[in-house]
Chain A
Amino acid sequence: CTSVVAEDSNGNLIHGRNLDFGLFMGWDMKNKSWQITEQLKPLVVNIDFRRSNHTVFKSTGFAGYAGMLTGMKPHSFSLTINERFSMDGGYIGIIEWLLHHRDAMWMGFLTRTVLENATSYEEARSLLSQTKLLAPAYYILGGNQTGQGCIITRARTESLKPLELNLKQGRWYLLQTNYDHWKAPLFLDDRRTPGMKCMNQTLQPNISFKTLYDVLSTKPVLNKLTTYTTLMEVSKGKLESFVRDCPNPCMPW
């Protein structure tokens, strides 16, 4: 996955993501595609979650998946998850769950709970940083005011080296793939460098849905695992999603 939260020159926050899923799960030799990735595409849906006839939050997800990977609470915050691979991975959390150690939360359910119940960027950030999880994850959170954007790197029990937008230091965007931000990405899977190159070329005054979609359409940020692209603008309550394809030549991940 690749998630980006960026602030334009007017202090407006734009949040976008490519959802990549299905690595090593059945390569279709004929169509040069991942089988699960292709099967997920018809399941992509935008959902308006409503209570008392009012929107509580909006999300892009997969039909049949009750948790959330991408969502936005209009005028409050936007949130995406990127997978964090670790030997201390989710299977250990599942085993603990089966052994009746059930004080941790399932990752997608925590995201949904935060989208449903948190009322501000700060509250969302606190819940995502402090709640014990079954699996490691990267949470990318955007707000509706200048400087409100952060990457929360989660181990199962703690938050590691949070990184925030900082305009004074020239950090007007945050770009997260599937690697810790303080380490170099795997050289075989470097979407961070081309993504940042395109963001740097775009320049802060030009960031918009249009230019962020361009960044998320550049290979290998766009790759054979990319299922959908979502763009969100919290201040306007706007969420757009598109099912993607990556014609050859295209990286398998």
Chain B
Amino acid sequence: STQYVPPYTEECRTGMYPPQGPTFKGAVTWYTVDLDLPPSKRWSALMSEKKDDIANMIKVIKDIADAFVPSGKLIDFVDKVLPLIVDTLPYPYDEELKGIASASGVPLGEIALFNLFYEVFTV
């Protein structure tokens, strides 16, 4: 347990590449996004394939939000207010987010929350 005491460091690793072993969880799959397509259609193929994974991730976010605000009002806010922000985003991102929500079946407000995560968590 003392190893968890910061600043825990180890000797510089060698021989890790090509990736394998317990620190390697898998290769990353390649996809193509065709920028010639209308923005609402660009992500359709990718999101159809990943819709279960994104639904799982959104569910965990909701569970954490419910732990902080058990009334469910936080998620209500996300579902009702954040879709309004999407309409204010610059083109083509507004259309792309709507396309992502449509292809994944995840509510638009929750897709917006995922896309705004970085800005929110810089505090």
Give 8 A-B pairs besides A83-B118, A106-B119, A229-B19 with Cβ atoms closer than 8 angstroms: A90-B119, A106-B93, A116-B35, A135-B122, A211-B17, A214-B14, A219-B8, A242-B25
Contact partners of B53 in chain A: CB under 8 A: 39, 42-43, 63
A: residues with CB less than 8 A from B are 25-26, 35-36, 39-52, 56, 60, 62-67, 69, 81, 83-87, 89-91, 93-94, 97-98, 102, 105-109, 116, 134-137, 187-190, 193-194, 197-198, 201-202, 209-211, 213-215, 217-220, 222, 228-229, 241-247, 249, 251-252
Our pick among B7, B9, B22 for the contact of A247 (Cβ within 8 Å) is B22
A71 to B64, CA, bound (A): 30
Instruction: List residues of chain A with CB within 8 A of the CB of B17.
Output: 209-211, 213-214
Number of chain B residues close to chain A: CB under 8 A: 64
CB neighbours of B123 from chain A (8 A):
85-87, 89-91
- Most chain A CB inside 10 Å of its own CB: which residue of B4, B17, B47, B122: B122
* With contact pairs A47-B30, A63-B50, A187-B6 given, residues A98 and B85 touching in the complex (Cβ less than 8 Å): yes
Cβ-Cβ contact count across A and B, 8 Å cutoff: 218
Name B111's closest neighbour in chain A (CB-CB): A64
B118 contact from A42, A51, A86, A90, Cβ within 8 A: A90
Closest chain-B Cβ to A185's Cβ sits at a distance in Å of: 9
Question: How far is A36 from B61 in the complex, measured between Cα atoms in Å?
Answer: 7
Chain B residues, Cβ within 8 Å of A65: 114-115
